Amino acid sequence: MTPLQTGDAVKITYEGRTVDGFVIMASPNGRSLLVKFEAMLGGYVGMMPILDGRDVFNDKPVTLARHT
């Protein structure tokens, strides 16, 4: 599977809640991401930084799936 890239539409699951969003910044290897969404997820409002599948500030798991 190819890494997520800037502009990819995604489904973001965090603390049991899933919302639609998209990647607004991505490292070339897809390990470091900034995702944008129209919701509040665990204290994040509108966007969340992710590194290696975990949110940067709380170190909790984030699941991202390409939106089809």
What pLDDT is attached to residue 2?
86
Quote the pTM value. Answer: 0.92
Which residue shows structure tokens 């966007």?
47
In tens, the pLDDT along 15-64 reads: 999 999 999 999 999 999 999 999 999 999 999 999 999 999 999 999 99
Strand 9-14: give its sheet, edge to edge.
54-55, 44-51, 32-41, 17-26, 9-14, 62-66
Tokens representing 58 are: 């709380």
In tens, the pLDDT along 5-15 reads: 999 999 999 99
In tens, the pLDDT along 32-42 reads: 999 999 999 99
